[in-house]
Amino acid sequence: MSDAETLLDLRQVSKCFVATDRAEDIVVLKDIDFSLHPGEIVAILGRSGCGKSTLLRIICGLTPASAGQVRYRGQPVTRPVAGISMVFQTFGLFPWLTVLENVELGLEAQGVPAMERRRRALAVIDLIGLDGFESAYPKELSGGMRQRVGFARALVVNPDVLLMDEAFSALDVPTSETLRGDLLDLWLERQIPTRAILMVSHSIEEVLMIADRIVILESNPGRVKAELPVTLKHPRDYTAPVFRQLVEHIYEVMTTAAGESWASSIGHRLPSAQVAQLLGVLDEINHPAHQGHADLAALANALNLKVDDLFPIIEALQLLDFALVTGGDICLSPHGQAFLDADIQRRKMIFGEHLLRRVPLAGHICRVIDARPNQRAPESGFLRELEDHLSGNEAGRVLQVIVDWGRYAELFAYDYHTGVFSAGNPGESEIGG
């Protein structure tokens, strides 16, 4: 095979969701350019919401691009094609079909005769380590075994390109490591027909264990921020100094300009970080082991957090001016240290002050409540305002973030059952008589 051959070629690929009831469309991906060649495993990294999964769906023809083009072997991809197969995060198996029947499905859709389907399905079931479970139903299998069925179903059609959308993330760590190792062995030993693998992951260590090249996306919108070659020989040792240096470098790249100084409008995409998570990370940074200044990779390991878990917390701490991030390191700001040194009530006051100063949505909710005669306001009004800037799902998510933050700071109360914001705790007036 020729290394110069291009299997996948993406040029200026963008994706936006058209909004008929908002001033602006939502741009998820913007001008994505990269190529995939035979013999390589490429990983896509990026913070949650950067469009990683959307990009894979565009590549395999399940979702149309708004602009630009994906080409497979020089031909535009506008629908699913035979040479590209995908393994999803969720297993997606049909519970009423056996392992063998689930694996045969793709071949049946291609019109492969029954005897040939059976032969090929049995061969890949044996290859992927599922022999003996051909007649089992998904409910009889562990999570790892069900994902093996997903891999078998993707590989049985002999794809040139295998796409993996966080294929190991739903599994426990030992199972994930075993399945990842088995797949890598099959790839290195050329026991599978696949000529290239493109994977999405939220684990830096995971992609460094197997990838030859890493594409890092930034967020809002998703764009290619950097491409990093990985030249480490297999098998790779995650404890080796050169491996850890690469981990730290990736954290540095991904956190450069990651957080904004403050939210510029009520429609700012607040990071999905709960107050309890913010407190936990602040406490860890302040731990004697770090003394207020921590390497992000070491912090992630200490807290057992992956990229998609850690980065929203870091972004929130930056947004609230409790922490500063430079060069892959995080340190407490003077305000963050003052917050940690305070008692519970003073902490709430400091948090509320920063929330009002740096997150316009918090102040807006407080002003609306104060302007009402009964000091109550339904969430529906705030949701409509947020949907001028965000999708419906994002608007709901952002509102839940501000509910958590505002409740902690005691800026307002929120009744989950009625969806009403108020100046006091729900039911307070009834208690007072």
Query: Contacts by 406-415 with C-beta closer than 8 Å and gap 24+?
Result: 406/355, 406/362, 406/365, 408/275, 408/348, 408/351, 409/348, 409/349, 409/351, 409/352, 409/355, 409/362, 410/348, 410/352, 411/352, 411/355, 411/356, 411/362, 411/365, 411/366, 412/365, 412/366, 412/369, 414/379
pLDDT in tens, the chain (433 residues): 344 589 999 999 999 877 655 556 778 899 999 999 999 999 999 887 788 989 999 999 999 999 999 999 999 999 999 899 999 877 678 999 999 999 999 888 888 999 999 999 999 999 988 899 999 999 999 988 998 999 999 999 999 999 999 888 878 778 888 888 999 999 999 999 899 999 998 889 999 999 999 999 988 788 999 999 999 999 999 899 999 899 989 988 887 654 445 567 888 889 999 999 999 999 999 999 888 899 888 888 888 888 778 889 999 999 999 999 987 889 999 999 999 999 999 999 999 999 999 999 999 999 999 999 999 999 999 999 998 888 778 899 999 999 999 999 999 999 999 999 999 655 444 444 3
Q: Report strand pairing: 323-326 vs 329-332.
A: antiparallel
Instruction: Quickly count: other Cβ atoms within 10 Å of residue 391's Cβ.
Output: 15
Amino acid of residue 204? I
Residue 230 and residue 165: Cα distance in Å, rounded? Answer: 20
Residue 15 and residue 200: Cα distance in Å, rounded? Answer: 17
Cα 67–chain centre separation: 23
Whether 294 contacts 284, CB under 8 Å: yes
Residue 106 and residue 156: Cα distance in Å, rounded? Answer: 8
Sorted by sequence, the CB contacts under 8 Å of residue 119 that are 6+ apart come out as none
Secondary structure of the chain in the HEC alphabet? CCCCCCCEEEEEEEEEECCCCCCCCEEEEEEEEEEECCCCEEEEEECCCCCHHHHHHHHCCCCCCCEEEEEECCEECCCCCCCEEEECCCCCCCCCCCHHHHHHHHHHHCCCCHHHHHHHHHHHHHHCCCCCCCCCCHHHCCHHHHHHHHHHHHHCCCCCEEEEECCCCCCCHHHHHHHHHHHHHHHHCCCCCCCEEEEECCCHHHHHHHCCEEEEEECCCEEEEEEEECCCCCCCCCCCHHHHHHHHHHHHHHHCCCCCCCCCCCCCCCCCCCHHHHHHHHHHHCCCCCCCEEEHHHHHHHHCCCHHHHHHHHHHHHHCCCEEEECCEEEECHHHHHHHHCCHHHHHHHHHHHHHHHCHHHHHHHHHHHHCCCCEEEHHHHHHHHCCCCCHHHHHHHHHHHHHHHHHHCCCEEECCCCEEECCCCCHHHHHC
Report pLDDT for 432.
43
Q: From 346, 345, 344, 325, select the one nearest 281 (Cα to Cα).
A: 325
The dihedral through the CA atoms of 264, 269, 273, 274 has a sign that is: positive
Q: Report strand pairing: 196-200 vs 213-218.
A: unpaired
Residue 358 and residue 53: Cα distance in Å, rounded? Answer: 31
Q: From 250, 268, 256, select the one nearest 306 (Cα to Cα).
A: 250
Whether 35 contacts 6, CB under 8 Å: yes
pTM summary value: 0.80
Report pLDDT for 41.
96
Task: For the chain, give the number of residues.
Answer: 433
- Gyration radius from the chain CA atoms: 25
